[in-house]
Copies of this chain bind each other. A is one copy, B any other.
Amino acid sequence: MCNDITDIEGNTFNGRLMIMDYCITTRKDNSWYIGTEQFNSKIADKTEAIMFQGNGYFGIRASAEERQLGEKRNMFVSGTFDAFSDEVTELPNLPDILNMEIKIDGQMLCLKDGQVKNYHKGLNMKNGELIRHFDWIINGKQVGFKFSRFISMDDVHLFVSKLEIMSNRDDLNIQIQSGIDGQQSNSGTQHLIEGNKRLFEDKYIQMQEKSQQSGIDFVFNVFHRTYIDEVLLNVKPHMKMGRRQIFGNYEINLPKKQRFTLIKYSNIYTSIDSDVEQEKLSETSISDLKEACLSNYVELLNKSAKSWQNNIWQRSYVKISSEDVKPQVAINFARYQLAANTPPDSRMNIGAKGITGEGYKGHTFWDTEIFMLPYYIFTMPEIARNLLKYRYLGLEGAHKKAKSNGYEGAQFPWEMAWPTDGETTPLWGSADIVTGRAMKIWSGFIEQHVTSDIAIAVMEYLHASGDQEFAEEMGNEIILDAAKFWSSRLEYDQDRDRYEITNVIGPDEYKEHADNNAFTNYTASWCIKQAVEITDMLRFKNPALYEKLNNKLKLDTVYQDWMSRMDMIYLPQPNEDLIIPQDDKYLGREKIDVAHYQSNDKVSDIFKEYNLAQINQLQITKQADVLLLLFLFENLYDKNVRKANWDYYEPKTTHDSSLSPSTHSILANDLKLDEKAYRFFEQACETDLGTHVGKAEKGLHMAALGGIWNIVVEGFGGVRIVGGKLRIQPHLPQSWDGLQYQINWQGSLLKISVNHEKMQVEILGDSIEFINHDKTYQVPANSKIEVMAPLVEV
């Protein structure tokens, strides 16, 4: 199905199919590019998702300007949650500002009509620009189209797009309808109430809307500027309003060999924006649009590109030296999408699918803390801080959840939206194949490890940043409050004189009502011990803060509980084969061969053969569970236990979660299972960039993107926090010649350069120390050192 690959100028070049195949292409000499040279409705969803554009404040899928069958036109503004009826809150799919309905000589542009030649759609991740161009042969005329667009990283409200049309041989009559189309919905669910639609000064198109339940005001503005060649046209749009729609209509007669250009400047503001006065939304947004319109497309694009360069690429620098451009494309893609999907506001967080699709409703899961936060902790600590502050702002909801379940302290929501929304996990999921009934989603009730995960992330952040202010204002409180929950959650078993945690879901979501899930018990225990340490420290070092927190949390009382219980929590121990039981019943369950489900293509087949109740009874694991525990708490057990558990659990794991490959890759790399490590790295990269077309409809897998960085920097690059200390112990894949990256540690910037022989660590800032193969290295301020790789490792 793939034609020869040609670049924007039409020259054939040496691109090759890579991670991606199925007509998604990269370019050997350009690690910032992903594209496709084939108009193919089968991959429409896929390209919409992976070429998503955003700046964290808002984002738009890479749908075509003209309507196409099977498309998912999505635009979301981070944090604008709303509830329809009694459903859980979600991000409303906002009015479409992308739309252009184009007619050539009266014939509507539709790539399934006529003939399409020289089709190209490509994303330049470096500057965030998406370009689509093609020749459309219709009714005997060959018409060249080029669409360009970007979401500004410099002015977060701004979206600019450009349409160019020309024909070398024919005069054209061009009709264009473009404006704001508010008929979008979330798969049929409508959150927005139609507000005013206006035309200001004969040219600025405005639509206002309001979310039904949360009452957020939205303002959308559009302005068009048209040219023939370089000559500005003075055409006034003929307005058309429909239900939830306002469009400008243009009609132009274009002589052959001349180029028609339309620039569409759009912006978006909401009443929860922190940079605008609520009462002045309409005027501010119009005057900002006017301001933007003083610059042309290229000037605005350049400003945005500069912001990408300074704020993202420079700070998260990673360079992979390899024959294959693929790993560098993947790490660029991961950083691009993380930046495009991370809101610049601590009242918001990263959704499991960011703002790239409707999947998971924009909700935040433990994905942020365990899979995405390492990237931000090490590269942009202030963003990591924002993301954790969000959890602090969510304490009220966490208290409410704990209380409603009969517990104390902070039980964090499994799914979290606006901080005060509390638990937002839907009650019902898709159909059970056996009974035909929708299945209850238990995660919101019993997938409780998220509370530990948040505590773990807070500690990692505090270790890496040394941010004492955050610790005092928020961090300590989060951990103490989490420990308070865990302490109240423990169940005393009289017979065995121990505390247990029954009826939970661990990271392995196949096991829905597990007793003593190892991951849950160990991390709960860790959390309580951490709280005891913090309490002891505060009493000693900061009695004022202790008193404040004591007043809030009744530490005096709860500390007694912690002390009396923490050593009596049941922590499943390795058995004679060194295997840590995932839960009380796991090791006794029936085994089946999961090998044929392990390929990414087949993994969902398991649900065609078994329903969830049946899978519950089998020794199958969805994703790293015991192994995740051993990765996060490396000091718990020695390498032998890690290896034995790897050998036991990995073959029973379907990896039917995009969270699974990164942990497995890093762990395999630690265990020197080099091929496995690289295969899981590829699997992480393939989660979105791979051949699985169907999955992209609902959005990208943000945790897998964080996982790509984790594998590269924490895995191959060897960066790890162990016992609160920095360890840098790289182990590169054979196919890589070298790796350069930078991380922040305790306020200093470390530039690390690794190859198979040695590692160089350069410090910009104060002196730091790190561990490498059990040896501690001191690096003086603003200096560099080299560490040779050990010849043989055991």
Of B69, B84, B239, which contacts A433 at CB under 8 A? B239
Q: Which of A69, A112, A182, A246 has the most CB atoms of chain B within a 10 A radius of its CB?
A: A69
Could you tell me which residues of chain A, from 532 to 582, have a CB within 8 Å of some CB in chain B?
A: none
Sorting the interface of chain A by its residue count into under 10, 10 to 19, 20 to 34 or 35 or more gives 35 or more
Could you tell me which residues of chain A, from 234 to 282, have a CB within 8 Å of some CB in chain B?
A: 238-244, 246
CB distance from A745 to the nearest CB of B (A): 44
Chain B residue at smallest Cβ distance from A68: B69
Residue A187 interfacial (CB < 8 Å): yes
Chain B residues whose C-beta falls within 8 Å of the C-beta of A184 in the assembled complex: 188
Chain B residues whose C-beta falls within 8 Å of the C-beta of A194 in the assembled complex: 87, 189
Chain B residue at smallest Cβ distance from A106: B42
**Among listed A197-205, A456-464, A628-636, interface-contacting one:** A197-205
Q: How far is the CA of A241 from the CA of B68 in the complex (A)?
A: 24
Residue A496 interfacial (CB < 8 Å): no
Q: Which of A184, A240, A431, A436 has the most CB atoms of chain B within a 10 A radius of its CB?
A: A436
Residue A185 interfacial (CB < 8 Å): yes
Q: How far is the CA of A112 from the CA of B67 in the complex (A)?
A: 14
Could you tell me which residues of chain A, from 152 to 194, have a CB within 8 Å of some CB in chain B?
A: 182-190, 193-194
Q: How far is the CA of A198 from the CA of B428 in the complex (A)?
A: 12
Q: Is the CB of A189 within 8 A of B244?
A: yes
Q: Is the CB of A188 within 8 A of B189?
A: no
CB distance from A585 to the nearest CB of B (A): 29
Of B189, B212, B240, B244, which contacts A431 at CB under 8 A? B240
Residue A287 interfacial (CB < 8 Å): no
Q: Is the CB of B198 within 8 A of A244?
A: no
Q: Which of A108, A243, A438 has the most CB atoms of chain B within a 10 A radius of its CB?
A: A243
Of B197, B212, B435, which contacts A85 at CB under 8 A? B212
Chain B residue at smallest Cβ distance from A182: B188
Chain B residues whose C-beta falls within 8 Å of the C-beta of A108 in the assembled complex: 41
Residue A430 interfacial (CB < 8 Å): yes
Q: Is the CB of A198 within 8 A of B437?
A: yes
Chain B residues whose C-beta falls within 8 Å of the C-beta of A185 in the assembled complex: 183, 185, 188, 190
User: Binary interface profile of A, 43-69, with partner B (CB < 8 Å = 1, else 0)?
Assistant: 000000000000000000000000111
Chain B residues whose C-beta falls within 8 Å of the C-beta of A67 in the assembled complex: 69-70
Chain B residue at smallest Cβ distance from A430: B241
Q: Is the CB of B608 within 8 A of A238?
A: yes
Q: Is the CB of A239 within 8 A of B431?
A: yes
Q: How far is the CA of A113 from the CA of B39 in the complex (A)?
A: 12
Q: Is the CB of A436 within 8 A of B112?
A: no
Chain B residues whose C-beta falls within 8 Å of the C-beta of A196 in the assembled complex: 438
Q: Which of A41, A186, A194, A196 has the most CB atoms of chain B within a 10 A radius of its CB?
A: A194
Q: Is the CB of B188 within 8 A of A243?
A: yes
Q: How far is the CA of A70 from the CA of B113 in the complex (A)?
A: 14
Chain B residue at smallest Cβ distance from A85: B193
Residue A768 interfacial (CB < 8 Å): no
Residue A110 interfacial (CB < 8 Å): yes
Q: Is the CB of B187 within 8 A of A241?
A: no
Chain B residues whose C-beta falls within 8 Å of the C-beta of A86 in the assembled complex: 193
Q: Is the CB of A436 within 8 A of B243?
A: no
Could you tell me which residues of chain A, from 19 to 41, have a CB within 8 Å of some CB in chain B?
A: 41
Chain B residues whose C-beta falls within 8 Å of the C-beta of A41 in the assembled complex: 108, 110
Q: How far is the CA of A437 from the CA of B198 in the complex (A)?
A: 5
CB distance from A357 to the nearest CB of B (A): 12
Could you tell me which residues of chain A, from 412 to 442, have a CB within 8 Å of some CB in chain B?
A: 430-431, 433, 435-438
Chain B residues whose C-beta falls within 8 Å of the C-beta of A187 in the assembled complex: 183, 242-244
Chain B residues whose C-beta falls within 8 Å of the C-beta of A241 in the assembled complex: 430-431, 438
Of B112, B188, B240, B437, which contacts A110 at CB under 8 A? B112
CB distance from A635 to the nearest CB of B (A): 44
Chain B residues whose C-beta falls within 8 Å of the C-beta of A430 in the assembled complex: 240-242
Q: Is the CB of A110 within 8 A of B69?
A: yes
Q: Is the CB of B238 within 8 A of A433?
A: yes
Chain B residue at smallest Cβ distance from A436: B199
CB distance from A199 to the nearest CB of B (A): 3
Chain B residues whose C-beta falls within 8 Å of the C-beta of A186 in the assembled complex: 243
Chain B residue at smallest Cβ distance from A206: B436
Q: Is the CB of B68 within 8 A of A202?
A: no
CB distance from A188 to the nearest CB of B (A): 3
Of B190, B438, B608, which contacts A189 at CB under 8 A? B190
Q: Is the CB of B436 within 8 A of A200?
A: yes
CB distance from A84 to the nearest CB of B (A): 7
Q: Is the CB of A431 within 8 A of B190?
A: no
Chain B residues whose C-beta falls within 8 Å of the C-beta of A431 in the assembled complex: 197, 199, 239-241, 246
Chain B residues whose C-beta falls within 8 Å of the C-beta of A433 in the assembled complex: 238-239
Once A85-B212, A238-B433 are accepted as A-B contacts, the answer to whether A243 and B69 lie under 8 Å apart by CB is no
User: Binary interface profile of A, 191-233, with partner B (CB < 8 Å = 1, else 0)?
Assistant: 0011011111010000000001000000000000000000000
Q: How far is the CA of A113 from the CA of B110 in the complex (A)?
A: 12
CB distance from A139 to the nearest CB of B (A): 11
Q: How far is the CA of A189 from the CA of B183 in the complex (A)?
A: 7
Chain B residues whose C-beta falls within 8 Å of the C-beta of A435 in the assembled complex: 199
Q: How far is the CA of A184 from the CA of B193 in the complex (A)?
A: 17
Q: How far is the CA of A87 from the CA of B241 in the complex (A)?
A: 17
User: Binary interface profile of A, 129-142, with partner B (CB < 8 Å = 1, else 0)?
Assistant: 00000000000000
Q: How far is the CA of A301 from the CA of B349 in the complex (A)?
A: 57
Q: How far is the CA of A580 from the CA of B421 in the complex (A)?
A: 66
Chain B residue at smallest Cβ distance from A203: B436
Chain B residues whose C-beta falls within 8 Å of the C-beta of A68 in the assembled complex: 69
Could you tell me which residues of chain A, from 73 to 129, have a CB within 8 Å of some CB in chain B?
A: 84-87, 108, 110, 112-113
Q: How far is the CA of A187 from the CA of B184 in the complex (A)?
A: 8
Q: How far is the CA of A243 from the CA of B431 in the complex (A)?
A: 11
Chain A to chain B contacts (Cβ below 8 Å), 30 pairs: A41-B108, A41-B110, A67-B69, A69-B110, A84-B193, A86-B193, A87-B194, A112-B112, A112-B113, A183-B185, A183-B187, A183-B188, A185-B185, A188-B190, A188-B243, A189-B190, A189-B244, A198-B437, A199-B431, A199-B435, A199-B436, A199-B437, A200-B436, A238-B433, A239-B431, A239-B436, A240-B430, A240-B431, A241-B430, A242-B430
| 14 extra A-B contacts, CB within 8 A, seeds A41-B110, A112-B112 | A84-B193, A183-B187, A183-B188, A188-B244, A190-B190, A197-B438, A202-B436, A238-B433, A238-B608, A239-B431, A239-B436, A240-B430, A240-B431, A241-B431
Q: Which 9 A-B pairs give the minimum distances between C-beta atoms?
A: A199-B436, A183-B188, A112-B112, A190-B190, A241-B431, A187-B243, A85-B193, A241-B430, A188-B244
